[in-house]
Chains A and B, each alone.
Chain A
Amino acid sequence: MYIIESGNVAAAIGVKLARAQVIAAYPITPQTPLTEKLSEFIESGTMKAAYIPVESEHSALAVCIAASTAGARAFTATSANGLLYMHEQLHWAAGARLPIVMCVVNRGVGAPWTVWNDHQDSISQRDTGWIQIYVNDHQEIIDTTIKAFRIAQEVNIPVMVCYDGYILSHSHMPFDLPDQKLVDRFLPPYNPEDCLDPKNPTNLNSVTLPDVRMNIRGELAHGYMELRYLLQEDLRRSIQVVADVEKHYKEIFNRGEGPYLEEYRCKDASFIAVSMGSLSFQLRVAVDALRKEGIKVGVIGIRLYRPFPDKAIVKALSKADGVIVFEKAISYGYMGTLCSEIASALYKNAKTPFVHNYILGIGGRNIRTEDLVDALRNSCTKGKNTDSADTLGWIGLKI
């Protein structure tokens, strides 16, 4: 059944369908309507879960860590400075290998204060060991939220589902509601083998020495480095798990795009635009306009950002003459974060396309489709000779 609702409501329904058992969150714009909706579901009895109000985002994730450690399916959501305030606990959740799911409703970070959209908040959490997925529309918000719980419990790694604040969180569009029975078939209950049990007290994640050593049962136990090696290995392994989960979801619900990226008019493309989130959908309109001018251009939207699906990205881009990366975040002092990673992934290839980088939409600056067309045309026609080959191109900047 199709309904027309906001992106935040799509996420909330996804969490309800996934039968999350513990929700802990602190309201922050533009995430607020998502957690309000969840508290309504729980208050009205349509969702069986504990809603734990907390005084901060740091505590919100701490509660989820405790709940997940006790074997409950836990969910939280936040934006911008709220996410930054969780930073210490983000590392902890990943290191403790807890399958928590969080929606990040993307918003620029202060200072100065902004409540509007860009990707600096979640991109800044890139190295915390969480899986990060970026989505394009409301159907993907609800479907990916459900899939995220499955991915998380398959690999014991927490997952962020990232969607654009306001542009997706507060816009309304139709999406199909997954059937509860089918969701139950797709997502079995979370029953971890090891969890916090008062009848069987144990130390969890206490000080771990630099080297391996015998534990109290006389078995050789991992040192800190082994545990962190396994986190990296399991994250790389989860690239395949993400594909398997996508395939499983598609078999049941008969929808879903490629697990790592969504390609549009790329088959014969000489130039490929790359982006994440709703911007990659807007770029499709720019691509259509340029195709009418005879420019062979396509666009890919990257869904899976961590673990970085480098092989799939190189495969999608290596045949092109040029790659143009449009980003709503910067690694300050260098360039767009995604662009530097794409350039690095392409470097291993024999033939490397030129790579241009545009920064746009920072702090909610309006992104005009006409400006996307102009920037893309400029990159496609001038190729390596444009200024942005060496420096960042800024779109919509008024300085």
Chain B
Amino acid sequence: MREDIINIAWHGRGGQGAITAAKIVAKTSFQTGYTGVVMVPTFGTERRGAPVMTSLKISKKKIYDLSPIENPDIAVVLDHLLLNEINIVEGLKHGAILVINTPKPSNDYSYNGIRVATADITAIAREAGLPYGMVNSGIIGAFAKASSLIGIETISDVIREEFKEIRPEENARSALLTYERTIINYGDKKM
């Protein structure tokens, strides 16, 4: 309803840290001048492993609407298998960006009018020294590359701060490596 708001939907599984990732992007956006930032998790009865969604809205002006995002400008998917379980693509705006953590090549994801950014973050995170499955810091690097909304340097600082007791350097490295290796596909194949 408001043109000035960037709507970002974060899809993950319970325990994957999608909320923490969205919070880091919220903090970084706020530091870089987006004074209107709200992050609203959608809570169900889900537990570990079940699909979860959190809404991140950013703007230069105060945001008054805390309802869940229905038509995202950007959707971030922490586990590519979620694309088979819930309808993530259908609600996307024309020209939206879809960021996916996937081992598959980016050409496998081709949707009309959607820019797709992919990286194998599960593998990159291991390379960065993180335990298997810790992908929420890496996905922020892919988000930064695909959206150009926030700089990787600023975000690395916020990641180190947010993960100061849980492998800050490895998490920052995972974000940086993912940033460098994210492939953006401007596919226009039919859905």
Using a CB–CB distance below 8 Å, which chain A residues touch chain B?
2, 4, 30, 115-116, 166-168, 170-174, 278, 281-282, 284-285, 288-289, 366-370
The answer to whether residues A173 and B67 also contact, given A2-B30, A4-B27, A4-B30 and a CB cut-off of 8 A, is: no
Interface centre among B35, B43, B70 (most CB of A within 10 A): B43
The answer to whether residues A369 and B65 also contact, given A4-B23, A172-B23 and a CB cut-off of 8 A, is: yes
- By a CB distance below 8 angstroms, the chain B residues around A367 are 67
Binary flags per residue of B1-28, CB closer than 8 Å to A gives 1, else 0: 1100000000000000000000100110
Residue B92 lies at the interface, judged by CB distance under 8 Å to chain A: no
B32 → chain A, closest Cβ, in Å? 13
In the complex, residue of chain A having the shortest beta-carbon distance to the beta carbon of B40: A171
**11 further A-B pairs in the complex, CB-CB below 8 A; given A170-B43, A288-B2:** A4-B37, A171-B41, A172-B23, A172-B39, A173-B63, A282-B64, A285-B64, A289-B1, A368-B67, A369-B65, A369-B67
In the complex, residue of chain B having the shortest beta-carbon distance to the beta carbon of A370: B1
Contact of B66 among A2, A115, A171 (CB under 8 A): A171
Residue B128 lies at the interface, judged by CB distance under 8 Å to chain A: no
Total residue contacts A-B, CB cutoff 8 A: 61
B155 → chain A, closest Cβ, in Å? 14
- By a CB distance below 8 angstroms, the chain A residues around B64 are 281-282, 284-285
For chain B, the bracket of interface size reads 20 to 34
In the complex, residue of chain B having the shortest beta-carbon distance to the beta carbon of A138: B38
- By a CB distance below 8 angstroms, the chain A residues around B66 are 167-168, 171, 278, 281-282
- By a CB distance below 8 angstroms, the chain A residues around B38 are 171-173
Say yes or no: A172 contacts B26, CB within 8 Å.
yes
- 28 A/B residue pairs, CB under 8 Å, sorted by A: A2-B30, A4-B23, A4-B26, A4-B39, A166-B41, A167-B66, A170-B41, A170-B43, A171-B41, A171-B66, A172-B37, A172-B40, A173-B37, A173-B38, A174-B35, A174-B37, A278-B66, A281-B64, A281-B65, A281-B66, A285-B2, A285-B65, A289-B1, A366-B67, A368-B70, A369-B1, A369-B65, A369-B67
A166 → chain B, closest Cβ, in Å? 5
Using a CB–CB distance below 8 Å, which chain B residues touch chain A?
1-2, 23, 26-27, 30, 35, 37-41, 43, 63-68, 70
Taken together as a complex, chains A and B put the C-alpha atoms of A186 and B41 apart, in Å, by 34
- By a CB distance below 8 angstroms, the chain B residues around A288 are 1-2
In the complex, residue of chain A having the shortest beta-carbon distance to the beta carbon of B2: A285
- By a CB distance below 8 angstroms, the chain A residues around B37 are 4, 172-174
Interface centre among B30, B38, B40, B66 (most CB of A within 10 A): B66
In the complex, residue of chain B having the shortest beta-carbon distance to the beta carbon of A2: B30
Taken together as a complex, chains A and B put the C-alpha atoms of A370 and B26 apart, in Å, by 25
- By a CB distance below 8 angstroms, the chain B residues around A281 are 64-66
Taken together as a complex, chains A and B put the C-alpha atoms of A59 and B68 apart, in Å, by 37
- By a CB distance below 8 angstroms, the chain B residues around A289 are 1
Interface centre among B26, B39, B41, B65 (most CB of A within 10 A): B65
Taken together as a complex, chains A and B put the C-alpha atoms of A247 and B68 apart, in Å, by 35
Say yes or no: B67 contacts A166, CB within 8 Å.
no
Say yes or no: B41 contacts A282, CB within 8 Å.
no
Ranked nearest first, the 8 interchain pairs of A and B with the lowest CB-CB distance are: A281-B64, A172-B39, A171-B40, A173-B38, A285-B65, A284-B64, A282-B65, A4-B27
- By a CB distance below 8 angstroms, the chain B residues around A369 are 1, 65, 67
Contact of B39 among A2, A116, A173, A370 (CB under 8 A): A173
Taken together as a complex, chains A and B put the C-alpha atoms of A370 and B71 apart, in Å, by 13
Taken together as a complex, chains A and B put the C-alpha atoms of A354 and B141 apart, in Å, by 54
- By a CB distance below 8 angstroms, the chain A residues around B68 are 366
Say yes or no: B1 contacts A285, CB within 8 Å.
yes
- By a CB distance below 8 angstroms, the chain A residues around B40 are 167, 170-172
The answer to whether residues A116 and B30 also contact, given A171-B66, A172-B23, A173-B37 and a CB cut-off of 8 A, is: no
Say yes or no: B23 contacts A166, CB within 8 Å.
no
B55 → chain A, closest Cβ, in Å? 9
- By a CB distance below 8 angstroms, the chain B residues around A368 are 67, 70
A243 → chain B, closest Cβ, in Å? 25
Taken together as a complex, chains A and B put the C-alpha atoms of A172 and B26 apart, in Å, by 8
The answer to whether residues A174 and B30 also contact, given A116-B43, A167-B40, A289-B1 and a CB cut-off of 8 A, is: yes
In the complex, residue of chain B having the shortest beta-carbon distance to the beta carbon of A173: B38
Taken together as a complex, chains A and B put the C-alpha atoms of A173 and B41 apart, in Å, by 12
A154 → chain B, closest Cβ, in Å? 31
Taken together as a complex, chains A and B put the C-alpha atoms of A166 and B1 apart, in Å, by 23
B126 → chain A, closest Cβ, in Å? 29
Taken together as a complex, chains A and B put the C-alpha atoms of A369 and B1 apart, in Å, by 8
- By a CB distance below 8 angstroms, the chain B residues around A172 are 23, 26, 37-40
- By a CB distance below 8 angstroms, the chain A residues around B2 are 285, 288
In the complex, residue of chain B having the shortest beta-carbon distance to the beta carbon of A171: B40
Interface centre among A116, A172, A370 (most CB of B within 10 A): A172
In the complex, residue of chain A having the shortest beta-carbon distance to the beta carbon of B70: A368
A40 → chain B, closest Cβ, in Å? 14
- By a CB distance below 8 angstroms, the chain A residues around B65 are 281-282, 285, 369
